[in-house]
Amino acid sequence: MLLVGAVLLGTRLGLLSLLLVLVVLLVGTVCFTAIGFIAANLSRDESNVNMISNLIGFPMLFTSEAFYSLAHAPKWVVVIGKLQPFHYLVEAMRIAVSPGEAVSALWLPLGILLGFTVVCVALAVFTFRWDSERPGKRKKQKTRMTAAT
């Protein structure tokens, strides 16, 4: 993929930029995997997971600068976007691949993304359950032994 980007688009990533991209990608992957676990944990059954994931994911996508600039967006859209981890993933990735950006500019968005990751992993662990029923409310199965006659 990097070869395609270098040949077709003329992009150049140095070793440091590639390493920073991998670090940002690792932190972002853990964060959004934890968000996926939270969505699954909030659902009572498998059919609701997709709906909950969309309710979480689409606002993050459309209030970030992943596809378009928010320079002319209403202030409330920008504020909502900055309250979500995807904004900081996009910002950290932009800094990591930009050759003119200082590496020190990466630490703030990466640190905030790491903070979101810690909170999301903690929430995923806190809401985790092995099945859809609560352990205290689990129905006991009665087994009946019948004698063969």
pLDDT tens per residue, range 30-74:
999 999 888 888 887 777 888 888 888 888 888 888 888 888 889
Average of pLDDT values for 83-104? 87
Residue 103 located in a structural domain: yes
Domain encompassing residue 65:
20-129
Residue 136 located in a structural domain: no
Residue 10 located in a structural domain: no
Number of domains in the chain: 1
Q: How far apart are CA 101 and CA 89, in angstroms?
A: 16
SS3 (DSSP) at 14: coil
pLDDT at residue 135, as a whole number: 43
Question: How many other C-beta atoms are found inside a 10 Å radius of the C-beta of residue 114?
Answer: 20
Q: How far apart are CA 106 and CA 19, in angstroms?
A: 12
Residues in the chain: 149
pLDDT at residue 6, as a whole number: 64
Residue 145 located in a structural domain: no
Q: How far apart are CA 118 and CA 85, in angstroms?
A: 11
Residue 5 located in a structural domain: no
- Put simply, whether the predicted model's pTM sits higher than 0.85 gets the answer no
Average of pLDDT values for 117-143? 71
